[in-house]
Amino acid sequence: MAKKKKTTKKPFKVKVIFISAAISLAVVLIFLLTFTDEQSHVTFTDIHGVGYSNDGKMIFIPAHDGIKQYDTMNKQWKATPGEKNDYMGFSMVDDGFYSSGHPGKGSDKPNPLGIVRSKEIGGEIELLGLEGETDFHFLAAGYENHVLYAYTSMANSKMPSDGLYYSNDEAKSWNERDLTKVEGEITGIAVHPTDANVVAISTQNKVYLSRNKGETFEELTNRKQVTSLTFTNNNSLLVGGFENKAFLTEINLNNSMEKDIRIPTFEGDAIAYLAKNPVDKNIVFTTFKKDVYLNNGERWIKLVNQGKAVNK
């Protein structure tokens, strides 16, 4: 009688491989579901500014419930950790940000915040002054020089009257600037990233420039309904506004020449906040209807649609 052929059993090894593969797949699925859930829950009930990290890879947008972050390399949105403060007058600099606004839920900070400083997005914020007194909607800092300008509509303990003020010592002291030649209600402030002497302010229908720390201002352009402005790192000024439709123009500060930049078409909307990437030509802007657009050097990409993050 022929002997039966012996068979080698490997059930344990097969089961181990199968279980290991199943666990790996589950981990991947959990990650993807978590990532998708995180992306889908990045929303903006309002938008109070926009800015870039110093390497140009991250975009930060303050909202009613803290700061949201967009990774331009991985095309990912997420909420930053830390206090969910309602930041106003948000101004990015090369090592963090300056801002004003109101404390978030659970915060022990005074209301309003006055002027605050953070050297880490999502980290601790430092109170620089006027906490419990003033909420600055118009506050700007030079990206590299950190010079501060603030506009207040009412007096406080450091600003004896309403108007525009300047500080070069981290808000410890303030000097009032001359706005006698400025016509209209202020709609924005921008500080040159490197030249502490240069500051621009916009009103409802004009843009003014100062080359002497705001001691005097001269009219730079009279484009109608100016809504936003920011300096670039090549000595020009980006200006957004509305004239029959939304516009974006770049003004060369060396010769005052203007060059319109083509942007997406909006219906009843305009640019609210602008930021220029510090390391390349990219521009990001937000609109009043809570859309966010990024120019990647070739075309405009929509990152947020009516307050909801767009997943790419």
- Look at the block and give the residue holding tokens 């990001």: 284
How many structural domains does the chain have? 1
**Residue 25 host element (H or E):** helix 11-40
Spatial CA neighbour of 45 closest among 290, 288, 228, 269: 290
Residue 7: inside a domain, yes or no?
A: no
d(CA 114, CA 156): 10
Confidence at residue 41, expressed as pLDDT on a 0 to 100 scale: 78
Would you say 163 and 141 are in contact if contact means Cβ atoms under 8 Å apart?
A: no
Confidence at residue 17, expressed as pLDDT on a 0 to 100 scale: 46
Confidence at residue 312, expressed as pLDDT on a 0 to 100 scale: 62
* Residue ranges with strand state E in 18-109: 51-52, 58-63, 66-71, 76-79, 86-93, 96-102
- Classify burial at 234, counting beta carbons within 10 Å of its beta carbon; exposed 0-12, middle 13-18, buried 19 or more: exposed
String of b and e for 122-149 (b: at least 16 CB within 10 Å)?
Answer: eeebeebbbbebbbbebbbbbbbbbbbb
Residue 77: inside a domain, yes or no?
A: yes
- Look at the block and give the residue holding tokens 């106003």: 88
| CATH number of 210's domain | 2.130.10.10
Residue 11: inside a domain, yes or no?
A: no
Would you say 190 and 230 are in contact if contact means Cβ atoms under 8 Å apart?
A: yes
Q: Which domain holds residue 72?
A: 16-309
Regions in the chain scoring below 70 on pLDDT: 1-40, 311-312
Residue 6: inside a domain, yes or no?
A: no
Residue 3: inside a domain, yes or no?
A: no
Residue 279: inside a domain, yes or no?
A: yes
Would you say 291 and 302 are in contact if contact means Cβ atoms under 8 Å apart?
A: yes
Residue 8: inside a domain, yes or no?
A: no
Residue 169: inside a domain, yes or no?
A: yes
Confidence at residue 297, expressed as pLDDT on a 0 to 100 scale: 79
- Look at the block and give the residue holding tokens 């909607």: 137
d(CA 4, CA 72): 65
Confidence at residue 165, expressed as pLDDT on a 0 to 100 scale: 97
Confidence at residue 224, expressed as pLDDT on a 0 to 100 scale: 84
d(CA 312, CA 258): 34
- Which tokens is 142 given? 């030079």
